[in-house]
Amino acid sequence: MNIGILGTGIVAKTIAGKLSSLGHAVKLGTREVKATLARSEPDMAGGPPLRTWLESQPRVTLGTYAEAAAHGELVICALSGQGALPGLQSAGAEALGGKILIDISNPLDFSKGMPPSLSVANTDSLGEQVQRAFPTTKVVKTLNTVNAFLMVDPQQLAGGDHSMVVCGNDAGAKAEVTRILKAWFGWKDVVDLGDITNARGSEMFLPLWVRLYGALQTPMFNIKIVR
């Protein structure tokens, strides 16, 4: 499958690497291709800069947001909370129209330092804002409650015995994303929260996630929904 991923950070690279290993053709999207390739600093996990990383990933290419969205039969938003809507708008409604968009972004506001607050909460969510901005796109919110490495390999923690949630307005899109989570990434327990308004709940988990990270001194944790 051709898959477009908006973003070039650790989340985008980790997901792209996993999808590439499964045989998918992935195009990462960025605002300015030349500027992105010119960066020489390592990523947040200490990995190589993108241009070096791409040399080891023959099935992953780099383009603009619009090119990545047009490339993808499936599109993944792995942008920061502040960058999500501008990046998607650069991709264009036409390129995203009718497609499933997996939205991983979180509305984290670091303007006052750590821990971050949420730029939108309670009566709205970033997931809802994305769906309103792109009404013909099938937005499914998921994977935003764990770190990048667990997103694509939940077996790294407790043998995969923990939970992931999804939400979105289109039942068929949620079913397909749930299939992807299980078949491609190895998630065993995927809980459908309902429509896209439920992104408020998964996004509001992030303030607790950040504090757990501080207490545990590791991002390798998750919740298990026991029932």
> What is the reported pLDDT for 29?
97
Q: What is the mean pLDDT of residues 181-194?
A: 98
> What is the reported pLDDT for 111?
87
The reported pTM is 0.95
Residue 138 has pLDDT above 90, yes or no: yes
Percentage of the chain exceeding pLDDT 70: 100
Mean pLDDT of the chain: 95
Burial of 154 (0-12, 13-18, 19+ CB in 10 A): buried
Residue 44 has pLDDT above 80, yes or no: no
Cα torsion 88, 89, 93, 97 to 10°: value is 10
Q: What is the mean pLDDT of residues 9-13?
A: 94
Residue 45 has pLDDT above 80, yes or no: no
Residue 163 has pLDDT above 90, yes or no: yes
214 and 177 in contact (C-beta within 8 Å)? Answer: no
